[in-house]
Structure formats: structure tokens, C-alpha cells
Amino acid sequence: MAFLPSSAEAIVGVDTGGTFTDIILILPSPQPGTPSRLIAHKVLSTPEDPGAAVVQGVTELIGQISADERPAFTVVHGSTVATNALLERRGARTAFVTTAGFEDLLRIGRQTRRHLYDLRPADPGPLIDDDLVFGVRERVVAPGNVAVPLSREEIDRVAEAVARSGARSVAVCLLFSFKAPQHEALLASALAARGLFVSASHKVLPEYREYERAATTVINAYVSPLMQHYLASLERRLRSAGARRLHVMQSSGGCLAPGDAGELGVHTVLSGPAGGVLGAFHAARMAGIERIITFDMGGTSTDVSLVDGRIATTSESEIAGLPLRVPTLPIHTVGAGGGSIAYLDAGGALCVGPRSAGARPGPACYGLGGNEPTVTDAHVLLGRLPKTAFLGGRMELDEVAAARAVESLARRLGASLEETAWSILQVANVQMERAIRVISVEKGYDPQEFTLVSYGGAGGLHACDLARSLGIPRVLVPSHPGLLSAWGMAVADMVKTYSQGVIGPLESTLAAGWAALRELMARACRDLGPEARIDGVVSLEPAIDLRYLGQSFELAVPLPTVHWRTQDPLPAPPQPPASELTVRFHAAHERRYGHRADEPVEMVAVRLLARCRAAHHNHNLLVRPAEKAGMAKPAGENVVYVCGGPAKVPVFRREELPPGCRLIGPAVVAEAHATTLLNPGDVLHVDEAGNLLITVDVRRT
């Protein structure tokens, strides 16, 4: 097909949050080399019809541009429709069809209990009731051959029973369908012919381990009909608001056309925090930084993630107690945030969280009726959070209420208010430090080689402390930290992922693996070719899952990326010899697990991530005229507790820090929705893009 570059389009990122829907518009640069323009907007979310806020926000934002300058635009949307449907159990009425004898597959799961020492666990109940589960007489066995054939009568019997059950959606997962999908395919078409929304496991996740595959397929069946409905209506409304097209954010950090997202809703259920990670990575790359640990500290919890030069995904996550085996950004969450409540337990240990004051009433210092001591209250008492800094001065923090909340705890500890507040912060820090260790050290990465990118309201008050205790030499606080998530969506590539289980000894299975990969690449080119409007290129990133023979965890060994131009013939996969793959697997294993084994290597699956650019984003988005500024002038001075003692610390307004300026900690940098605290010896530099780049004095502890 011929490639015609489209005229420069604008892109709109929309992030639906619990309270606000954030919208960001990136206008294409008028000529090459000049910066793009960025306009942001915020509207209240409308949980009963999330699309209403999206349409309203986009309309208002576009309305800010004069009619003759108004560009064509694409909307990229991060939706929580699928996530909420699952968490609140409001999905489609879904049936489950599986091999007879295994009807209880989903209820048994892995036969483990969630809490080891809970004698009275509550039963959350199954996602699918027993009367919506159907067994099929058929059986495929390990080598992929049929042991019990699937008869026409059986297909009809099951399809009829499902149709009569009142289910609207159906998940089909038969044993060994990842190897031999023919039985599943026959059932799927019979069910689809009866008007049901069908998710077949060999399409959703053609990989081995029946429970994980079934659960992922069922999640898809459960959320996709709602997603389809929501997106169809949203797309229609946005088109009438002038949008050219709609893209949907996925958990993998790539976006997807609404048709695909409606078929494969399971790919969106963990998309919420993906925008932030993507935005953080984008901001860091603009500052020339490729290896980052993201740190998003909110009111009730903190999300952390690691990006090592490229957005990588994991297939091991879970939601609502079910395993989810689709590509997801590896984000780790701990229940410690600004609103986390501090208390003394029965044994006399000072604990922080997971109970949180949330947004309402919020920390005591909000003055909204909260009376328990929180992390934010501790910051206020220690002068770390300037009273007037909050929400750009629109809300003054109530120091007296914060003191009152911490006081009762201080009395029980026999300590001063300041000691108590300081201790609360240290306990919160150690929990967040542990979270960062989980995503870095436990995965074989040394945090000292990374930059900590902090966003979210409370993060800047902890980032430099955490960096110091983990030996992370640098902290980046991006400009517009509150909009990072919407921004990340606006710059996201279109991404589709594919996989196919191919199990066997590497040498003898490799040919089958290449054939499967060639097939996946052809599908990806067909799927994404028409979407490659920006530069006519689809990037194909293949990988092969390998493990030592008999092990049950596999490692994805990446193969070279293939850049396919849409006018070229379909590409062939790169085919390095088995010997080379083996060497690379040993190295990957050693890096991740610290050792290599002298064992034969086995192939488990081939994977493919295909991407194409979705927007004309310019990497110099926010460049301002560079000023050769020297040391910045503070707006005031506070007594602030840093490194365990009080000190007179200058307070700066972020908007008064010009690019190029430097300052040396201790210092407080306040902005509308966030505050950053530098410890003594830390050096802050404002870069061209307005990012705060802090060199942390890691030798001091």
C-alpha cells in the first residue's frame, strides 16, 4: 500500500481519574525545529457516564483555539471502564465453557488461600456462577493430538445450552488449545452464530497453564462488551466534537483502535497507571535520561515502576484476585501515601498505613474533619510542606489541626511532636524503599544506575530521602507533574501484542517457533499497517520465551527489531541460530537470577510486540528560551526538619525558577500541586524543559 503522510495533526490525551479528568492538547509545531504548543485542561469526572466528562473537556479545550487555527486531532483515552467493571463486579453476564471434567477450573484456581494465618477468610464468591459453566466432551492431549474428538452434536448441545443460559458473553478455554485450537475455534464460531460475544482462549492468550489462560479469557469476556458499548458511544460523540479518531490506552503502555479495544478489553484493565509511567519516561528522555525508576506517591498508595531504556512489559499481574497474563507495565503498588494513617499497634510499634484518610476527610491539616495523624500532617509539622503552598494557595493547610492529630500519638510514644512526625516519615520511607527494591534489586537491577522520576502530589517530599537511602544519584521532577499521565497517553505509540505457545527443546523446536513468529508478524502487519499514518513504518519487536528444561519460569529473550515499511513485502523474522539464542539466554538468566545452569534450553513461546507512531509529537515540546540564570532567589524561608534536625531553609516557587538556574539544598520548591524537598548537599538544576534535575548527595546518610 502506498504511504501518504497525513497533514500534521494535533493529539489530545485524556486521563479519567477518580476526581478529575485531565486533558492535554499537543499542537503540532508550525515548522520543523520549533516547539509544539501544549494546552492543559481539567474537568470534574462524571463516574456514572465517564464519557460525558471526556467529551465536555475535549470540547472546552478545543474551543480555546480560534476556529481558523483548529487542527484535525486524535484523542487518546485512558479509561477505567473495564477496571471498574471488574473490581465492582458489574461486567457482562458471562458463561464459561471448558473441557468436561474441568468445570471447576476457575473456582479451584491454584488451590491456595490468600492469607496464611486467617482462620476465618471471607469468600468473595466466583466471578462466574456454577450454572453458567459448561463442560464439553472433547480432549486434546499434550503432544497436541486429539484424544476425544469434538462431535457436531456436542457443539450444538453446548452452544444451545449457553444461548439458553441468558449469558451475553462467553469465554471458551479448552485444555491444550494453545497447541491445537481447532476444537475451541469450532465452538467459538457456533457460539458467535447464536449472537454471543465470544472470547476464545487461543485468541486471547495462546499460552500454556490452563488456569491463567482461562482467567485471562474470562476477564476479557466479562469486560469487553461493556468496553465495546462505551467506546462506540464515546467515539460517536467525539467525532461530532470534531475528533478524527479515538485511540484507547492499554495496560502495556501502547494505545489501540477502539474496535480492537472492544474485542480485547482485557488489555485495558490495568491501563490506569500506564500513562504516568509513559509520561515520566518521555519527560526523562527529553532530558537525556534513559534509565528511570518512576515514583508516583498519591494519597492512599504509591506506584513504582522501572524503565530500563525502553518500555518493557510483564505478563504476570493480577486484578480482583485473578491472574492476568497480558502485557502490562510492571507497576508495583504499596499502601503508603500522603493520607496514610500512623498508629501504635498492640506490641508498641509505630505503623503507617495501609489505612488512609483518603481524599475525604483527608489528612487533619486539610481541615475537613480528619483527626488522625497522617504522613502529610507530619510534613506540615516539620515545615516541609509550606502552609500556603497547597493547591496553588487556594487552600491553606491547618497546622493546628495537624498538631492536634499528631499530639495524641506523641503522648503515647512519650516523644515530642517533632520526633513523632519525623518518625512517621521514616516508617513511611522504609515501606516505599522496600517497594522500590522489589522492582529493582529483586529483578537484578542496581538502583544506583537509575534516575528516580517523581510525580504525584506527595512524591517530591520523599524522593530525595529515598534516593539517598537507595544510593540513587539523581532525581527528576518533570514539569507539569500533575499532567504526566494525560501527557503519556498523548505520546503513546499504537501497540498490539501477540504470542503463541510453542513448547519443546530449543534445537528441535526452533523451526516451528520461526514459523509461528512469521505468522504473528504477518498478522501484525495486517493489523497495524493501516494505522501507520505518521511515517508508514510498523516496528516489529519479536522475542522468544526460553527456560532451562523442566523449569517453570521463562525469560523473554528479545530478537532484533524489524522495521517494516507498509509498501514492502511482508517481513521475515530474524532467525539467529539456536547456539546464539542459548548464549543470550544464559546471559539473561545470569543477569536476572545471578547464576547460569549447565542445562539444556527449552522454548516455551514466541512473542511479538508491534508498534507504530500515533502522533506527530516533537521531542522538544516544552523548550523555553534558555536564560543563563545563576542562583535562584527564594520567596521566603521556613524552619524545616531535614536530616533529623531543624534548619532555616529557603522556600522557592517553582514558577520563579528559570531554566538554567541552580540551587543547593537544603531547599523547598513549592508549586501548585506538588512540593519538592532538597536535603543538604543536594544540587538542583532546572533544565531547558523546566524539569527539576536534582543531583543527590548519596554519600551522606
Partner 1 sequence: MLVEQARLAIFNNLFRSVADEMGVTVERTAYSPNIKERLDFSCALFTTEGEMVAQAAHIPVHLGAMPLSVKAALDRFPSFAPGDIIMLNDPYMGGTHLPDITLITPLFAGDELIGFAACRAHHNDVGGVSAGSMPVAKDIFQEGIRIPPVRLYDAGKLNSALLDLILANVRVPRERRADLYAQVAALRRAQIRAEEIVAKYGVAAVRTQMRELLDYTERLMRERIRRIPDGRYTFTDVIEDDGCGNTDLSIRVAVEVRGDEASVDFAGSAPQAEGPVNAVYAVTLSAVVYCFRCLLGPETPASGGSFRPLTVLAPEGTVVNASFPAPVAAGNVETSQRIVDVVLGALAQALPDEIPAAACGTMNNLAMGGFDADGNAFAYYETMGGGMGAHAGGDGLSAVQTHMTNTKNTPVEALELAYPLRVVRYGIRRGSGGAGRYSGGDGLVREIEVLQPCDATLLTERRRTAPYGLVGGSPGRPGRNLLSRGGGPWQELDSKVQLRLEPGDRLRIETPGGGGYGVPAQ
Q: Which of residues 464-483 bind partner 1 (CB under 8 A)?
A: 469
d(CA 507, CA 244): 49
Shortest Cβ 187–partner 1 spacing (Å) = 18
Shortest Cβ 72–partner 1 spacing (Å) = 49
Does position 131 bind partner 1 by CB under 8 A?
A: no
Does position 123 bind partner 1 by CB under 8 A?
A: yes
Instruction: Write out the binding residues for partner 1, residues 650-669 only, by CB under 8 A.
Output: none
β-bridge mates for residue 276, sequence order: none
Judged by CB under 8 A, the residue of 30, 47, 89, 104 near partner 1 is: 104
d(CA 511, CA 504): 11
Helix (H, G, I), strand (E, B) or coil at 186: helix
Judged by CB under 8 A, the residue of 32, 288, 569, 644 near partner 1 is: 644
d(CA 175, CA 480): 49
Does position 7 bind partner 1 by CB under 8 A?
A: no
Judged by CB under 8 A, the residue of 175, 256, 606, 609 near partner 1 is: 175
Does position 69 bind partner 1 by CB under 8 A?
A: no
Distances (CA, A) of 567 to 1, 527, 532, 563, 613: 5, 14, 11, 12, 16
Does position 174 bind partner 1 by CB under 8 A?
A: no
Does position 699 bind partner 1 by CB under 8 A?
A: no
Shortest Cβ 340–partner 1 spacing (Å) = 12
Counts for the chain of helices (H) and strands (E), in that order: 16, 33
Does position 426 bind partner 1 by CB under 8 A?
A: yes
d(CA 511, CA 272): 39
Judged by CB under 8 A, the residue of 12, 204, 427, 614 near partner 1 is: 427
Does position 355 bind partner 1 by CB under 8 A?
A: no
Cα 114 from chain centroid (whole Å) = 24
Stretch that binds partner 1, among 157-165, 225-233, 318-326, 421-429 (CB under 8 A): 421-429
Shortest Cβ 165–partner 1 spacing (Å) = 19
Burial category of 116 from C-beta neighbours within 10 Å (exposed 0-12, middle 13-18, buried 19 and up)? exposed
Does position 628 bind partner 1 by CB under 8 A?
A: no
Q: Which is nearer to partner 1, 379 or 611 (CB)?
A: 379
Whether the CA torsion 440, 443, 448, 449 is positive or negative: it is negative
Q: Which is nearer to partner 1, 243 or 424 (CB)?
A: 424
Does position 46 bind partner 1 by CB under 8 A?
A: no
Smallest CA-to-CA distance from 425 within 393, 453, 462, 371 is with 462
Judged by CB under 8 A, the residue of 32, 121, 288, 625 near partner 1 is: 121
Judged by CB under 8 A, the residue of 224, 271, 420, 618 near partner 1 is: 420
Instruction: Write out the binding residues for partner 1, residues 429-448 only, by CB under 8 A.
Output: 430-431, 433-434, 437-438, 441-442
Judged by CB under 8 A, the residue of 196, 352, 381, 672 near partner 1 is: 352
Burial category of 288 from C-beta neighbours within 10 Å (exposed 0-12, middle 13-18, buried 19 and up)? exposed
Instruction: Write out the binding residues for partner 1, residues 210-229 only, by CB under 8 A.
Output: 210-212
Helix (H, G, I), strand (E, B) or coil at 697: coil
Residue 386 burial (CB count, 10 A): 20
| DSSP secondary structure letters along 35-78 | PPEEEEEEEE--TTSHHHHHHHHHHHHHHTS-GGGPPPEEEEEE
Number of residues that bind partner 1 (CB under 8 A): 74
Q: Which is nearer to partner 1, 530 or 593 (CB)?
A: 593
Shortest Cβ 553–partner 1 spacing (Å) = 6
Shortest Cβ 446–partner 1 spacing (Å) = 12
Shortest Cβ 429–partner 1 spacing (Å) = 8
Residue 54 burial (CB count, 10 A): 27
Stretch that binds partner 1, among 72-80, 297-305, 310-318, 419-427 (CB under 8 A): 419-427
Cβ neighbors of 556 (< 8 A, separation 6 or more) are 543, 544, 545, 607
Judged by CB under 8 A, the residue of 30, 47, 131, 141 near partner 1 is: 141
Shortest Cβ 361–partner 1 spacing (Å) = 24
Judged by CB under 8 A, the residue of 48, 69, 120, 152 near partner 1 is: 120
| DSSP secondary structure letters along 321-356 | TEEE-S-B--EEEES--TTEEEEE-TTS-EEEEEEE
Residue 53 in grid coordinates: 466528562
Smallest CA-to-CA distance from 401 within 426, 423, 427, 381 is with 381
Cα 508 from chain centroid (whole Å) = 37
Does position 297 bind partner 1 by CB under 8 A?
A: no
Does position 418 bind partner 1 by CB under 8 A?
A: yes
Shortest Cβ 129–partner 1 spacing (Å) = 13
Does position 2 bind partner 1 by CB under 8 A?
A: no
Instruction: Write out the binding residues for partner 1, residues 521-560 only, by CB under 8 A.
Output: 548, 550-553
Cβ distance 470 to 701 under 8 Å? no
Stretch that binds partner 1, among 13-21, 42-50, 155-163, 202-210 (CB under 8 A): 202-210
| DSSP secondary structure letters along 587-646 | HHHHHHHS---SS-EEEEEEEEEEEE--S---TTTT--------BPPPSEEEEEEETTEE
Smallest CA-to-CA distance from 504 within 409, 643, 606 is with 606
Q: Residues 566-595: x/- map of binding to partner 1 (CB under 8 A)?
A: --------------------------xxxx
